[in-house]
Amino acid sequence: MTYCLGIKVRTGLVAIADTRITSGTETATAKKISVHESGQNSLFLMTSGLRSIRDKAVTYFEELFEDESFKFDKMYKAVNMFGDQLRRVAQEDKKSLAESGLFFNLYAIVGGQLENDKEHKLYLLYPEGNWIEVGEGSPFTIIGNSGYGKPILNRALTYESSLRFAFKTGFLSFDSTRVSANDVGYPIDVALYPRDSYKLEQHRLEEKDTAQIGQMWASKLKNSIDEIPETWMDAFLHKPELL
């Protein structure tokens, strides 16, 4: 499993991905974000699914993106092209994977801004190559292990949140997932895109870099629960064994 989070707020984009790869009892580290920049074109791509599908599709996409005779000028065109590469890999490998008992299951999050986009864009791409655009109403999407990290995002994050607040909330979403799922872990890769900058800022964070924040978050959660009144329980917690 994996954890990849894309956030779109008015002032930019946040991408966070863990790097843990688990196969049986073996654990390895692998990059799950790829960044593609050329002139006034800047985008990131995160994936969740079979590594062999991911590497092949991304390689095909990189060749097209770097080819000077082929020009992307809007994000949806780049997303369509990656979808085409997914379908190409499906034609080449889906049957043999199925014969080996494996599913063709690559999901992707693609975000960025190309030269003719009026604003930054964020997309969720499905294994079939089709996609949806992430908008203001629900300004984030997660692929991989999504259950544990959604509550804080649903409660705290809005499209009007600052880029720094989005990054902070996104990290706490990852931390909530990490402590609940042993197949998600450090280090994490982060990409930040300030609106209209046409430049992605990339970072890799180890556990030591954020340990204090994780501990602070856990402590504040416990203290908040302690501070919630208990008088509302009195109407039904009247049995001695429940007190």
- Residue 191 has a pLDDT of 97
Average pLDDT, the chain: 90
Q: Which two tokens stand for residue 237?
A: 């917690």
Residue pointed to by tokens 């556990």: 207
Which of these, 151, 107, 158, lies nearest to 3 by C-alpha position? Answer: 107
Span 177-191, average pLDDT: 91
Q: How far apart are CA 120 and CA 195, in angstroms?
A: 6
pLDDT-derived band at 89 (thresholds 50, 70, 90) equals very high
Three-state secondary structure readout of 158-183: CCCCCHHHHHHHHHHHHHHHHCCCCC
DSSP-based three-state secondary structure for 43: strand
- Residue 181 has a pLDDT of 84
Highest mean pLDDT among 11-15, 61-65, 104-108, 231-235: 11-15
Radius of gyration of the chain (CA): 20
DSSP-based three-state secondary structure for 186: coil
Residue 44 has pLDDT above 80, yes or no: yes
Span 149-176, average pLDDT: 96
Q: Which two tokens stand for residue 202?
A: 């990339």
Length of the chain: 243
Q: What percent of the chain clears pLDDT 90, i.e. is strictly above it?
A: 71
Which of these, 101, 103, 110, lies nearest to 47 by C-alpha position? Answer: 110
- Residue 14 has a pLDDT of 98
Span 163-184, average pLDDT: 93
Q: How far apart are CA 171 and CA 203, in angstroms?
A: 13
Residue pointed to by tokens 């959604």: 150
pLDDT-derived band at 241 (thresholds 50, 70, 90) equals low
By mean pLDDT, which of 35-44, 164-173, 201-210 is the weakest? 35-44
- Residue 239 has a pLDDT of 63
Q: What is the distance of C-alpha 146 from the center of its chain? A: 9
**Residue scoring higher pLDDT (178 or 243):** 178
The CA–CA distances, whole Å, from 19 to 6, 113, 242 equal: 15, 25, 44
Residue pointed to by tokens 């000028």: 73
Q: How many helices (H) and strands (E) does the chain have?
A: 5, 12
Q: Which amino acid is at 214?
A: G
Residue 242 has pLDDT above 60, yes or no: no
Residue 218 has pLDDT above 80, yes or no: yes
Residue 235 burial by Cβ neighbours in a 10 Å radius (0-12, 13-18, 19+): exposed
Torsion of CA 150, 152, 154, 160, to 10 degrees: -130
Q: Which helix (H) or strand (E) holds 81?
A: helix 75-99
- Residue 30 has a pLDDT of 80
Which one-letter DSSP state was computed for residue 238? -
